[in-house]
A = this chain, B = another copy of it.
Amino acid sequence: MSEKGQLIVVSAPSGCGKGTILAEVLKDDSFYYSVSATTRSPREGEQDGVNYHFLTREKFEELINSGSMLEYAEYCGNYYGTPLTYIDENLNKGKNVILEIEVEGAMNVRKLRPDAVLIFILPPSMKELRRRLEKRGTETSEVVEKRLAQAAREIKCADKYDYIMVNGPLDKAVEDFKTIISAAAMSCENNKYLIDEVLENA
């Protein structure tokens, strides 16, 4: 309804398939993916400026101090944050801007930007999440257990989001995601301005 794009925050436990859904959604060019910044090291195959902006601790703190981060959080000893650049620029162009961030960051965005819609993506079950993590075969069973424990902690925070969707079949998940965005454009928060517009046009 609103001509501005929708600010979207997506969180999901690692291994949940969030990346697959977002890759599909981003084929639609009304969506813009805001690349997060982090001080953690790139994993194999990760590219700077694509998966993350990989920054030194010094550079990251410089950006915090100059007010260039919408929000940031420290997580497992590394900074993760959302650079402000491009966010409002793309919203004003009518693009839906996706921020892929973890729970603490999401709650910070909620406070700073009440217009944001917060979506939590659940795995079908913890059993299925374990299967997916083990299938990757890249991590020791100790790491898998740690990730599952972390996932459970994150999932318990899902009730702080606006919407909760389950990642089942990909087509359904992509459709669910887009349905939420279309509805969010009609949320009260985003459409209060219409009340005055309608009343003034008398």
Give residues in A with beta carbon < 8 Å to B. 1, 122-127, 130, 152, 155-156, 158-166, 176, 179-180, 182-184, 186-188, 191-192, 194-195, 197-199, 201-202
Contacts and interface: CB of A to CB of B under 8 A. Distances in A.
B202 A127 contact: yes
A23 to B, nearest CB: 20
A183 B159 contact: no
Given A156-B199, A164-B191, A179-B186, 4 more contacts: A124-B198, A130-B202, A158-B195, A164-B187
Contacts of A124: 198
Contacts of A130: 202
Contacts of A155: 195, 198-199
A1 B172 CA distance: 11
Contacts of A125: 197-198, 201-202
Nearest to A157: B195
A114 to B, nearest CB: 13
5 contacts: A1-B164, A127-B201, A158-B188, A162-B187, A182-B183
Contact of A182 (B123, B179, B197): B179
Contacts of A123: 198
